[in-house]
Every structure is written in C-alpha cells, then in structure tokens.
Amino acid sequence: MDTRRLLRLSATAFVAAGLLISGCSSGKSPSEASASDGASGAAPGSVAVDQAALKKYYDQKLTWRGCGVPGFQCATMKAPLDYTKPDGTEIKLAVSRKKATGPGKRLGSLLVNPGGPGGTAIGYLQTYAGIGYPAQVRARYDMAAIDPRGVARSEPVECLSGKEMDAYTQVDQTPDDRAETTRLAGSFKKFAQGCEKRSGKILPHVSTVEAARDMDIFRATLGDRKLSYVGASYGTFLGATYAELFPKRTGRLVLDGAMDPSLPARDLNRDQTGGFETAFQSFAKDCVKQTDCPLGTTSAADASNRMKAFFRAVDAKPVPTGQSRRLGESLATTGVIAAMYDESGWPQLREALAGAMDGDGAALLSLADSYYERESDGSYANLMYANSAVNCLDLPPGFTAPEAVAKDLPSFEKASPVFGKGLAWASLNCAYWPTKATGSPHRIEAKGAAPIVVVGTTRDPATPYKWAQSLARQLSSGTLLTYDGDGHTAYGRGSDCIDTTINTYLLEGTPPTAGKKCS
C-alpha cells in the first residue's frame, strides 16, 4: 500500500451547470505582466531569482501543433532546470490547449491541474476538462494545461522497472517483527536509489515552487495578464503557491479539495489517515444496507471489524488473482482505498471484496492497479515516482527512522482503526530520499491576490475538510465553499449548487458569499 500523501482527483463524469454571464477585462498587457511584475518570491523553498535573466523564457514563442486529439494543440515550453541558474541547463515542458469555442467574449486561458502530485494535467485536459467542463466555461476560456516538471510528458521522473514496481507494491506495510520492518525499510531505500540512479538530474528540481514558476512562464506565453486556474487536490497547493509567489498576477483561482500548507508531513499523513477512515465509515454505513455487502448487514462497526479481519487474513495468506501476483494485505488495502475517492465506486468495491473473500482477488487487484496506474503489460505510469519526488522535496520527512513510526503508531491507529498502521508505515518513505527537502510547512496568505475560492468536501478521504477550512482562513482573499457530501473534491461531481457557484465565479469573477454550503 503506497498511499502516502497521494492527493488525486477521481475520474468522474462532469455535470455541467450554471449561467452564461458577461465577462470582464482589466489590468496590464501580457508583456507588462512578465518576469518582473508582481513576483514576491516569498514562499519557503523559493530562492533569489534573476528576473532579467528569465526574460528569454517569458518572451519565448511557442510553436503550437496538432497532437492527435481533435480540437487540442500541443507545444513544448522551455524553462530553466535551476531557477538560481537561469542561464544554465534548460528543460522542456509539455503544454496543451483547446481554444475557446464561443459565443461570448474570450476571458483568457483557464489552466487546470488534477492533483497528485504526479497526475498528468495534459491527460486530464484532453480526456476530461477540455471536453467535460461546462460548455459556458469552455466557450469563454481557452482550456490549457502544463504537465509539471517531472511528470508524464515533462522530463518524467523514473525509478523502477515494471517488475521492480510489482515487487515494491507487494511489500508488507504492516510489519509484525524486526525482519518485516527491515524488509519494508529496504524497499523504501531501493525505491529512492532507483530514482536517484534514473533521474538524478531532475530530482532536486521538481518542487511545487519551481512548478509554480513554470506556470507563470506558461501564463506569459499564452498572452494572459493574470492566471486563471482550477486546481484539484494537490493542485490546490500548487495554485496557492502560485498566488503566494505572484499575488498581483493571480486571477480567478478555484482550489478544490484543498491542502493545508501549514502542516508538517507527519500531521498531513495522520490527517489523511483520518480522512480515509471517515470515508470508509461512510462506505460501511451504506454497505450494511445492501443485500450484497460482504462485510455483513448489521452495523458499520461490525463491517469495520470484518474489514480488519480480512486484511489480517490476506496478510497471513495472500489469495490468488489468476496471475503471478497474489493479493496480499498491501495490495488489498490499496484497492479498498482506491474506491474511497468516489462513492460511485462503492458497488464495485463490494463486488471486489466479495470475490476476494471467496478466494478470487482479481477484482480487488484491478482496483489497486488502477490506483497505481499499472498497465496490462506490466508497465507503470510515472505517477508514483513523481509523487514521491515532489512530496519528499516539498517537506521534510514525516518520520526519519522505523523507531519513530513505531512510537507514533497509536496516534495513527486512533485516527483510523482500519488503515492507521499501514498508513503510518507508508509515511517512512521520505526518510531515505537522496535529495534534501527544500520546502517547509508554512501559512500561505498571498496578500494582494484577487479573491480565491477554496472548496472543501465534508467527508473527503484524501483532503480532509478541515484543510479547506484552514487554507481559506490563511489566504487573505480566500472564500470557503463547502460541499456536504462524500468523495474527493466537489466541482463536477453532481452538485448543481457547487457547479453553478464556481461557474459564476469563473465567468463573472464574483466569489460565493462567506459560509456558503451546498449538498
């Protein structure tokens, strides 16, 4: 089970709702809002940057071309590998856009990011946002995305072969003795060593601060005075970091499924552990009402006990899956967690659990594979590699040794009796990272930024609701929009109230009233 701070948007169908409202325009020309205007550089992990030396990047002209998906264009954007050495090595970042369809006055570009870290923004744009966002939003904005450095098409971080990754995902992450603890620590070390061996050049330069700086160059190349942006999950941290670095260039920002940048890694991991427990309890309460619930039909408490008993059983004796990989506790837990991101996956989880409890782990393994983005040929996307690389650079490790995990286990198990032990041990991964963290936990205020909408879901598994409450309080111009519901993130998940409110903000610039709640 490798779920450490993997904050990702579930792939759900977008329900369009809202009003078509006239647009607005103001501010400086794109050329005036370039490398030197409005950059505070105040984010921890940011460094003194020679703005004049960045001018060549801000002034670059992108060569747009078709990219195999009707209606979309792709290009390659250059950025410095190291922002402290802008005249040094360059990297190439993949970008994509789909021009506004009209009618109505064009409002500029709307950048999107689905989270992760490690999620491909271009993939999200081309398969979902660029065709599934509300028609009135796509009519007025050029939909755009940049794969962050280290991710997918942008100098991707690589760490393990497919077979090595298969082995890694099966290591027992609830060690019962010293030998199992040593084996788990060794797997984290091997993972980190693989990343250093295969991606040593890019590894020190995939921080969220650097990705936010890349987004500002992209904004300039698109000809926009200010950045308009919808970020989900980890994408909220990326968007908030952008606002912190470039408050005067911040346009209409929607931060959906928000992270709390003020928390250290251990607290983030523990809070997320509690979030998955909250989501599981919601699933369990629903499950026991269904005739096909494999966890019983009596109570959520009984369902939780049966879930824990199942995990213990497959830890002791993994079940067959119809292939060489058997379903042990780590993969089984990952499969269950994968279904927590969206309540529409609950029926599939009931069926998968029933199969696994009957000796066939294929369906639950399939859920785990979808979480890891494992292909049928045994290869993996770089999601998990980029995820670790960014997380371990953004914050010092939650734990630095197995002894520290063992000491703090009770607090994680209190946060989640079902998932606590495994998620505590998963938090050890950054202890062995080859590159020292450059970021640190801190409040983000982004003073001087335009109104920013922060969206929180009350029973969100991956980004607990209290994180959205905290971020909205931190941001000097933040407004909290609450969705009372299940699943990860809120925009486009079926609430007309949420969608109409966000659409109105994106099209008109009017944020919701303070304390607005939707269901």
In which residue are the tokens 């639950």 written? Answer: 364
Q: Could you tell me the two tokens for 477?
A: 């111009």
**Which candidate in 109, 330, 470, 488 is catalytic?**
488
Collapsed DSSP state (helix, strand, coil) of residue 327: strand
Q: Put the strands of the sheet holding 478-486 in their side by side order.
A: 65-66, 73-80, 90-98, 141-146, 108-113, 227-232, 250-256, 452-459, 478-486, 517-518
What is the 3-state secondary structure of 267-305? HHHHHHHHHHHHHHHHHHHHHCCCCCCCCCCCCHHHHHH
Would residue 176 show up in a list of annotated catalytic residues for this protein?
no
CA-closest candidate to residue 477, choices 188, 279, 240: 240
- 401, 262 Cβ separation under 8 angstroms: no
**Which candidate in 233, 304, 330, 470 is catalytic?**
233
Would residue 233 show up in a list of annotated catalytic residues for this protein?
yes
- Alpha-carbon span 22 to 33, nearest angstrom: 24
- Is it true that the peptide bond before 451 is cis, omega within 30 degrees of 0? no
**Which candidate in 147, 166, 342, 460 is catalytic?**
460
- Alpha-carbon span 365 to 231, nearest angstrom: 29
- 464, 265 Cβ separation under 8 angstroms: no
Residue 165 backbone dihedrals phi, psi, to 5 degrees: -70, -40
Q: Which residues of 260-284 are buried (b: 16+ CB within 10 A; e: fewer)?
A: bbbbebbebbbbbbbbbbbbbbbbb
Would residue 488 show up in a list of annotated catalytic residues for this protein?
yes
What is the 3-state secondary structure of 21-56? CCCCCCCCCCCCCCCCCCCCCCCCCCCCCCCHHHHH
Q: How many CB atoms lie within 10 A of CB 143?
A: 25
- Alpha-carbon span 224 to 241, nearest angstrom: 19
Pairing of strands 478-486, 250-256: unpaired
Tell me the residue type at 118.
G
- Alpha-carbon span 168 to 317, nearest angstrom: 18
Q: How many CB atoms lie within 10 A of CB 440?
A: 13
Q: Could you tell me the two tokens for 428?
A: 């050890």
Collapsed DSSP state (helix, strand, coil) of residue 75: strand
Distance of CA 446 to the CA centre of its chain: 21
Q: Could you tell me the two tokens for 366?
A: 């399939």
Residue 8 backbone dihedrals phi, psi, to 5 degrees: -130, 150
Tell me the residue type at 316.
A
- 308, 41 Cβ separation under 8 angstroms: no
Residues with catalytic roles: 233, 460, 488
